Homo-oligomer: A and B are copies of this chain.
Amino acid sequence: MAYELYYWPSIQGRGEFVRLALEASGQVYRDVVRGKDGMAAMTRLMSGRETPPFAPPFLKVDGLLIAQVANILAFLGERHGLEPQDPKGRWFTRQLQLTLADLVVEAHDTHHPVASNLYYEDQLAEAARRSEDFRAERLPKFLGYFETVLVANPDGTAHLVGADLTYADLSLFQVVEGLSYAFPKAIKRMLKQYPNVFALRDSVAALPRIKAYLASERRIPFNEDGIFRHYDALDQ
């Protein structure tokens, strides 16, 4: 019944959304690739015949092998109360998670607009152009959307959906943290425009289990191998 999480061992990356859901709901899990022989185990599962993942992260439990962040979170959300039980709330939570996933792709592509398998240094000019558009157009559009959702929540602005914590809240926290690391100047200019988004970031960080997790060695620091990378040239 203990969860096995498979993800790259030296970055937060997409695995972090799963880690946050496991931590916030108090689950026992093993971050397999950070342990002995973990990389070999991950490679083995990826080339396995049954329900092979296209890419990490994936979660192994009870004979299931589940990949894709939004899918893993829906699975965990159902099981551990991180998703509303009513259909309207459930489908909306899943929609928000998928919208956050879209934002994550765009944040990644600011430093890799040409190809993931090239270095950032091989696509500097393209990255500068893409980042300029991201900061000016996309970031305000996404953050403005989540601000609207918080303000419109009939149960109050403390959560994206309903009156309780969902994985969409946790993921918004993570995205805002990542964006603040990658684009500190741009985010600083936006603090007052999206007050409820940043208030949610702060309240998630203060949740006892999340606070303990963030202070632990289990939380890998942001770095320039992950999705959210800080390059001065991309934050002017």
Among B51, B68, B129, B130, which residue has its beta carbon within 8 angstroms of that of A98? B68
* Complex copy number for this chain: 2
Q: Is the CB of B115 within 8 A of A137?
A: yes
Binding stretch for chain B, among A26-34, A89-97, A163-171, A199-207: A89-97
Residue A99, interface by CB 8 Å:
yes
CA–CA, A70 to B130, complex, Å? 26
Binding stretch for chain B, among A36-44, A145-153, A226-234: A145-153
Q: Is the CB of A133 within 8 A of B152?
A: no
Among B53, B88, B123, which residue has its beta carbon within 8 angstroms of that of A51? B88
CA–CA, A234 to B211, complex, Å? 48
CA–CA, A142 to B54, complex, Å? 8
CB proximity to B under 8 Å, residues A27-73: 49-54, 63-64, 66-68, 70-71
CB proximity to B under 8 Å, residues A84-115: 87-88, 91-92, 94-95, 98-99, 102, 105, 109, 113-115
Q: Is the CB of A66 within 8 A of B51?
A: no
CB distance from A231 to the nearest CB of B (A): 17
CA–CA, A105 to B102, complex, Å? 9
Q: Is the CB of A95 within 8 A of B67?
A: yes
Among B71, B145, B152, which residue has its beta carbon within 8 angstroms of that of A50? B152
Q: Is the CB of B149 within 8 A of A126?
A: no
CA–CA, A92 to B66, complex, Å? 7
Residues of B within 8 A of A119 (CB): none
Interface residues as binary, A108-142 with B (CB distance below 8 Å gives 1, 0 otherwise)? 01000111011000010010011001000100001
The 9 closest A-B pairs by CB, nearest first: A115-B133, A68-B98, A51-B92, A49-B152, A54-B99, A68-B95, A67-B95, A114-B129, A126-B126
Q: List chain A positions with a Cβ less than 8 A from chain B.
A: 49-54, 63-64, 66-68, 70-71, 74-75, 87-88, 91-92, 94-95, 98-99, 102, 105, 109, 113-115, 117-118, 123, 126, 129-130, 133, 137, 142, 145, 148-149, 152
